[in-house]
Amino acid sequence: MKTLITGVAGFLGSHLLRDLLAKGKHVIGIDNLSTGRLAHIEEVRHHPHFHFIHFDVSDPDVLQLDSLLDVSEIYHLASPASPKFYQNDPFATIAVNTIGTKHMLELAKMNHAKLLYASTSEAYGDPVMHPQPEEYRGNVNTWGPRACYDEAKRLGEVLCYEYYQRFGVQVKVARIFNTYSAGLRNDDGRVISNFVNQALTGAAITVYGDGKQTRSFCYVDDNIRALQLMMEKKVATGEIINIGNPQEYEILEVARMVKEMCQSTSEITFHPLPKDDPRVRRPVIEKAKLLLDWKPQIHLEEGLRRTIKAYREQRVERVQS
């Protein structure tokens, strides 16, 4: 029995891959390498239990791939996640979360496989209810630059619902809140990778808006553990579950923390807030605690310490090679 990861060469996909292989699983990974990089999976590329397929899951021919015929678990993670990248190609973002999700649901139906869909806290848009429980229906603007991601993810959830209701496909929907660690591309554009890279290189730390907007950051190991628990546990079938760390920080506070922890001389500079940037975000995780017996274990300070250390080492390696 094999596990399929779509988006395997991305940030979450590559971390999940390494963890599953370490646990002895056989994994097939698909990626079109739009935002992902082969370098992210280089060290396990030729692992005997791993098979990589360079393919686009929005292409209907994905259902003709023979090697997918014996998958029993599907982690459908394929989709750009950084606002910079998902806004760069909105049609591909819409396609992978709708058409691509439908293809993966069809595959799950054919194989009687379980499917976990990586949805997002962006499904809540710029939330009016704070913090956000799964029942909150959200406040998304359809007429703006984030809609291609937010609304496509929401439609992806609808497709999961219909395949669950009509065909009994064992779906699980993770609404993932901001997740970080080393392993994001340097040009990914998300806040932690930007701030750490800027602080380590002495470049200005770019805070958007007044920095009073909040986010709640989850370290990647906690996220990967939760996704696997969702896949394993029957009680998570047919459920939407928030996966995130409920510790909430203002972005300016994060900029100051990163600067201090890097012992950086970088200046903190302020730039216009992107349109529709959510003002607050924080998950209610009672459902994850109850159904998965999961809660995050890694505090932001510890996660940042690990992240900064890894970025520092990468920089030294790059300079030496």
Q: Which residues are catalytic?
A: 149
What number of chain residues touch ligand UDP (CB under 6 A)? 14
Helices and strands: H and E segment counts in the chain: 9, 13
The length of the chain in residues reads 321
Look up residue 140 and give its DSSP letter: -
Q: Are 172 and 239 in contact (CB under 8 A)?
A: yes
Residues 86-145 that bind ligand NAD (CB under 6 A): 96, 100, 118, 120
CB of 215: closest distance to ligand UDP in angstroms? Answer: 5
If the CB atoms of residues 219 and 264 are measured against ligand NAD, the closer one turns out to be 219
Near ligand UDP by CB under 6 A: residue from 36, 80, 83, 131: 83
CA distance 23 to 224: 13
Of 7-15, 25-33, 36-44, 188-196, which part binds ligand UDP (CB under 6 A)? Answer: 188-196
The angle subtended at Cα 153 by Cα 151 and Cα 156, nearest 5°, is 110
Question: Is residue 41 part of the contact set for ligand NAD (CB under 6 A)?
Answer: no
Among 35, 101, 194, 228, binds ligand NAD (CB under 6 A): 35
Torsion of CA 101, 117, 106, 79, to 10 degrees: 30
Enumerate the H helices of the chain as residue ranges. 11-22, 83-88, 90-111, 147-167, 191-201, 220-232, 251-261, 286-292, 300-320
Which of 152, 207, 229, 284: binder of ligand UDP (CB under 6 A)? 207
- Which does residue 230 bind out of ligand NAD, ligand UDP, none, counting CB within 5 to 8 angstroms by kind? none
Return the number of the residue (90 or 270) whose C-beta is nearest ligand NAD. Answer: 90
Which strand (E) or helix (H) includes residue 29? strand 27-31
The residue count for binding ligand NAD (CB under 6 A) is 29
SS3 content of the chain, % helix, strand, coil (to 5): 45, 20, 35
Q: Which x/- pattern over 161-190 shows residues binding ligand NAD (rule: CB under 6 A)?
A: ---------------x-xx-----------
Q: Half-sphere exposure of 50 toward its Cβ, with a 13 Å CA cutoff?
A: 23
Burial 87-109 (b: 16+ CB within 10 A, else e): beebebbbbbbbbbbbbbbbbbe
Residue 11 is a binding residue for ligand NAD (CB under 6 A) = yes
65 vs 203, beta carbon nearer ligand UDP: 203
Site for ligand NAD, residues 57 to 86, rule: CB under 6 A: 57-58, 77-81
Quote the least distance from Cβ 189 to ligand UDP, whole Å: 6
Q: Is 277 in the site for ligand UDP (CB under 6 A)?
A: yes
| Binding site partner of 216, from ligand UDP, ligand NAD, none, Cβ cut-off 5-8 A by kind | none
At residue 201, what is the residue type?
A: T
Is residue 179 at the binding interface for ligand UDP, with CB under 6 A as the rule? Answer: no
Q: Does 12 bind ligand UDP (CB under 6 A)?
A: no
Residue 106 CB, shortest distance to ligand NAD, in Å, is 15
DSSP 176-200: E--EE-BTB-TT---HHHHHHHHHH
Whether the upstream peptide bond of residue 131 has omega within 30° of 0, thus cis, is yes
Binding positions for ligand UDP, rule: CB under 6 A: 82-83, 178, 190-191, 194, 206-208, 213, 215, 251, 274, 277
Contact residues for ligand NAD, defined by CB under 6 A: 6-7, 9-13, 30-36, 56-58, 77-81, 96, 100, 118, 120, 176, 178-179
